[in-house]
């Protein structure tokens, strides 16, 4: 019995040694590239406004909540800007999603979101494939890299009730 107990203790200690650094790393990773949730809800407010160019069709997303992943900031210093937000919004059918690239400017009064590009995505062999975006061969490759990267961030659910009308200024280049 005591042997079993000591073995169990060793196992737990071993798992802790292995797991704790992993948890610490995951926490650090997840903190990097984040924005306040309130800002994220304002982005969704922009995307659901009726006049927003390439905004979300109301029937595309779930009735109850938005399912998203995102990364904010510099992923690749050669091409990304500090205030760049990459957002994936998943469709209710689980068979489609949209990638939005936008710039976030924090003005004194309201947030400003400038949308740079949009890509349609579909699932393919365990990952999300860019099916169409603006730009040429380079842009497709870059968009796919973005999708692969953002797909590794934590999934977030934001209830529709949390997305309220804001003073955010929204535009599409």
Q: Which of 66, 71, 92, 100 is nearest to 83 (CA)?
A: 71
Query: Distance between CA 86 and CA 99 in Å, rounded?
Result: 7
The verdict on 62 binding another protein (CB under 8 A) reads: no
Beta carbon of residue 171, minimum distance to another protein (angstroms, whole number):
9
Q: Which is nearer to another protein, 2 or 50 (CB)?
A: 50
Burial of 33 (0-12, 13-18, 19+ CB in 10 A): middle
- Whole-angstrom Cα distance, residue 112 to residue 105? 5
Question: What's the closest the beta carbon of residue 74 comes to another protein, in angstroms?
Answer: 12
At residue 103, the 3 state secondary structure works out as strand
Asked if 98 is part of the footprint of another protein (rule: CB under 8 A), the reply reads yes
Binding of another protein by 173 (CB under 8 A): yes
Over the window 117 to 136, marking each residue x when it contacts another protein by CB under 8 A and - when it does not, the resulting string is: xxxx---x----xxxxxxxx
Binding site for another protein (CB under 8 A): 50, 52-57, 60, 78-79, 81, 89, 91, 96-98, 101, 103, 114, 116-120, 124, 129-142, 173
């Amino acid at each position: 019995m005591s042997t079993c107990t000591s073995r169990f203790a060793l196992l737990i200690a071993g798992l802790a040694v292995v797991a704790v650094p992993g948890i610490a790393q995951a926490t650090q990773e997840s903190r990097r590239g984040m924005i306040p949730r309130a800002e994220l809800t304002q982005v969704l407010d922009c995307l659901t406004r009726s006049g927003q160019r390439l905004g979300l069709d109301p029937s595309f997303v779930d009735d109850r909540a938005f399912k998203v992943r995102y990364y904010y900031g510099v992923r690749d210093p050669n091409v990304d800007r500090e205030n760049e937000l990459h957002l994936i919004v998943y469709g209710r059918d689980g068979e489609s999603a949209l990638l939005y690239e936008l710039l976030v400017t924090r003005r004194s009064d309201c947030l400003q979101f400038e949308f740079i590009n949009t890509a349609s995505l579909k699932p393919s062999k365990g990952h999300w494939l860019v099916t169409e975006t603006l730009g040429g061969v380079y842009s497709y490759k870059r968009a796919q890299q973005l999708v692969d990267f953002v797909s590794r961030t934590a999934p977030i659910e934001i209830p529709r009730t949390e997305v309220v009308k804001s003073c955010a200024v929204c535009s599409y280049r």
